[in-house]
Amino acid sequence: MEIRGKMTEFLSQEVLAYIGILSLIGFGIFLILLIIGVVSSYLFFRKREFIRGASSRLTSIFLRVLLSILDFLYLPSKKVISILGGNDAMVDIVNAEMRNMLLKKKFSEVPYSERIIILPQCLRDTECPASFSSVDGARCVGCGKCKIYEITKKANKLGYKGAYIAPGGGFVKRIIQRTKPRAVIGIGCPYEVNMGLLEVSNMGIPCQGIILLKSGCVKTDVDLLSVYSVMELK
Ligand code: SF4
């Protein structure tokens, strides 16, 4: 009995030691991935023009691997960047940029008539006379007080399937289910664009995101030339 007790004690000590070693290895891997994620985000953020230009198969594989690491470590990466005194929106900007690069080719292959563009309501002027509908979101009446008018005009000119002003988060899913586009453009703050691209691409729809120049709840701003160049992608 005594021998059995000692054996059990030894085995449980051995199991505990294994658990300890495995936990240490797991933590080490997590730490290494976190460092890779944070450093890569920073480098990508600084050199994104260069990476944008280098569109090879190797770059695409590199982007996919990096994006998987950053998606897996999304919250810890943001925490580390803000602890280091950086802007944690950098993670969303970098992730959104990578998704744009990876989806650009498929998006470009979809004809204009099968695409929709979704605009944030914060782009509207504070005195916007647009009416709201739970089905179509806000309907721009073309007063010309904000850039939504220009973007809507451009979408109509190119023959887009639709331009919609989103009154809230759930709207994007609803309008996609209703209009069934084959490609989507979304405009918003870094977080919205990153999450929107993730959600829409998970639905199997190629998409492109454009980040606002100035985020906030009202009177935000977007670079019209950037919007047009994405809308015109072929
Ligand atoms: S242009 Fe359209 S969205 Fe902008 S303020 Fe006028 S009605 Fe509203």
pLDDT in tens, the chain (234 residues): 566 666 667 667 778 888 888 888 888 888 887 777 777 777 777 776 666 666 666 677 878 888 888 888 889 888 888 888 888 888 899 899 999 999 999 999 999 999 999 999 999 998 999 888 777 788 889 899 999 999 999 999 999 999 999 887 688 888 999 999 999 999 999 999 999 999 999 999 999 999 999 877 778 999 999 999 999 998
Where does ligand 1 bind, in terms of residues with CB under 6 Å? Answer: 124-125, 128-130, 140-146, 148-149
According to DSSP, residue 214 is labeled: B
**CA–CA distance, 184 with 186 (Å, rounded to integer):** 7
Nearest atom, ligand 1, residue 129 CA: 7
Q: How far is the CA of 76 from the centre of ligand 1 (A)?
A: 39
pTM, full prediction? 0.81
Give the model confidence (pLDDT) of 80-117 as tens digits.
888 888 888 888 998 999 999 999 999 999 999 999 99
User: Structural domain boundaries of the chain?
Assistant: 2-86, 104-231
Residue whose CA lies nearest to ligand 1 atom number 6: 143
Q: How far is the CA of 17 from the centre of ligand 1 (A)?
A: 65
Instruction: Provide the b/e sequence for 188-210 (b: ≥16 CB within 10 Å).
Output: bbbbbbbbbbbbbbeeebbbbbb
Residue whose CA lies nearest to ligand 1 atom number 2: 140
What is the assigned CATH class of domain 104-231? alpha beta
**CA–CA distance, 172 with 233 (Å, rounded to integer):** 22
Residue whose CA lies nearest to ligand 1 atom number 4: 146
**How is the beta sheet containing 183-188 ordered, strand by strand?**
131-133, 137-139, 162-166, 115-120, 183-188, 207-211
Q: How far is CA 109 from CA 156, 226, 227, in A?
A: 19, 19, 18
